[in-house]
């Protein structure tokens, strides 16, 4: 039976995650202590989002929750504290930002925060926060025409990977004389054990009490799995191994690893490490 072994919240897109023992599930993704997954994002002067694809040092920006503050640390930098309370909409500064093809209104940061992130990332940039009035939906081609909200995630509110899938990849890497890689290279929100390698690809749903999670789209992989999350540097890239057996015709031959999932039922319920799930296969 599938069992949840890891839950990870990524408050800031492309920065380090926070390992959790429990998280609230919402249609827009995991949340914890009023923080939503990918609620913040780093952008350049034109409002375009930045990621580890071009700026691997972003992996070293470590968030933590302390009371009503989001505390950020990075090597060689003083810690930065950001209030979790939403800004006053009457006075808060906003700007237009772009995530892939979506252009959205976001709350802008203050000059001190912008300077901190510019130093941490190594390029002029600033931090923005998802605006409550903004609306961004996942691609209905994959959600079955359901309106599925997402914040600054690449396209879908949650990502799930099984430990068996990573174990299979690592066996292939080690057979080539290469080192195994950790799960954090793939940045999932939910990790499950107790199923076969890549069985998540064929799941109709994972049911945990009143919570129903539905895999909807295989996750095409970009160069980010080549970034060592501990060093913030490009390391051995597993894509050459993955491309030998993970090309997926469902996404035009893209290399996939993990499944993007949506919430069908259980909004506001709590998901915990150790929870057992009932797996229904899609055939």
In this predicted model, what pLDDT tens digit does every residue of 22-75 receive, in sequence order? Answer: 999 999 999 998 899 999 999 999 999 999 999 999 999 999 999 999 999 999
- In the predicted model, is pLDDT for residue 236 greater than 90? no
CA–CA distance, 164 with 166 (Å, rounded to integer) = 5
Spatial CB neighbours of 241, under 8 Å, sequence gap ≥ 6: 169, 172, 173, 176, 178
What is the sign, positive or negative, of the torsion defined by CA atoms of 111, 125, 15, 147?
A: positive
How confident is the model at residue 282, as a pLDDT? 86
Spatial CB neighbours of 1, under 8 Å, sequence gap ≥ 6: 194, 276, 277, 278, 279
Q: Would you give the distance in Å from CA 158 to the centre of its chain? A: 7
User: pLDDT digit string (tens) for 161-207?
Assistant: 999 999 999 999 999 999 999 999 999 999 999 999 999 999 999 99
Quickly state the pLDDT bin for 88 (edges 50, 70, 90). Answer: confident
**CA separation, residue 168 to residues 79, 101, 198, 257 (Å):** 38, 34, 9, 11
The mean per-residue pLDDT over the stretch 121-148 comes to: 96
CATH 2.40.33.20: does it fit domain 3-32+138-281? Answer: yes
Domain ranges of the chain: 3-32+138-281, 36-130
Give the number of residues written for the chain: 283
The mean predicted confidence, pLDDT, of the chain is 96
Contact 72, 186 (CB under 8 A): no
Quickly state the pLDDT bin for 101 (edges 50, 70, 90). Answer: very high
Tell me the DSSP string of the chain: --EEEEEEE-SBTTS--EEESEEEEETTEEEETTEETT-EEEE-TTSBB--TTT-GGGGG-EEEEETTEEEEE-TTS--EEEE-SPP-TTT--EEEEEETTEEEEEEE--HHHHHHHHHHHTSS-EEEEE-TT---B--HHHHTT---B-SSSSSSSEEEEEHHHHHHHHHHHHHTT-----GGGT--SEEEESS-TTGGGGEEEEEETTEEEEEEEEEE--SGGGEETTTTEE---THHHHTTT-EEGGGTTEEEEEEEEEEEE-TTPEEETT-B-EEEE--
Contact 246, 172 (CB under 8 A): no
Closest C-alpha to 182, from 198, 193, 167, 199: 167
């Amino acid at each position: 039976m599938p069992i949840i072994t890891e839950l990870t919240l990524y408050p800031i897109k492309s920065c380090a995650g926070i390992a959790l023992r429990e998280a609230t599930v919402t249609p827009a993704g995991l949340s914890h202590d009023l923080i939503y997954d990918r609620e913040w994002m780093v952008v350049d002067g034109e409002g375009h989002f930045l990621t580890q694809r071009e700026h691997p040092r972003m992996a070293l920006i470590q968030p933590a929750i302390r009371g009503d503050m989001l505390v950020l640390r990075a090597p060689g930098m003083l810690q930065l504290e950001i209030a979790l309370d939403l800004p006053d909409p009457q006075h808060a500064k906003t700007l237009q930002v772009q995530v892939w093809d979506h252009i959205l209104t976001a709350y802008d940061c203050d000059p001190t925060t912008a300077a901190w992130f510019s130093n941490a990332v190594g390029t002029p940039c600033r931090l923005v926060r998802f605006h409550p009035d903004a609306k961004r939906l996942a691609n209905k081609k994959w959600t079955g025409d359901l309106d599925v909200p997402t914040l600054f995630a690449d396209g879908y509110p949650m990502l799930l990977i099984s430990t068996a899938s990573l174990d299979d990849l690592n066996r292939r890497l080690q057979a080539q004389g290469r080192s195994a890689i950790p799960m954090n290279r793939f940045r999932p929100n939910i990790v499950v054990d107790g199923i076969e390698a890549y069985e998540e690809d064929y799941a109709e749903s994972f049911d945990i009490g009143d919570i129903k999670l539905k895999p909807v789209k295989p996750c095409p992989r970009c160069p980010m799995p080549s970034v060592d999350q501990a060093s913030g540097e490009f390391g051995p890239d597993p894509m050459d191994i993955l491309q030998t057996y993970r090309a997926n015709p469902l996404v035009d031959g893209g290399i996939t690893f993990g499944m993007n999932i949506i919430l069908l039922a259980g909004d506001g319920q709590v998901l915990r490490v150790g929870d057992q799930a009932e797996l229904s296969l899609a055939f």
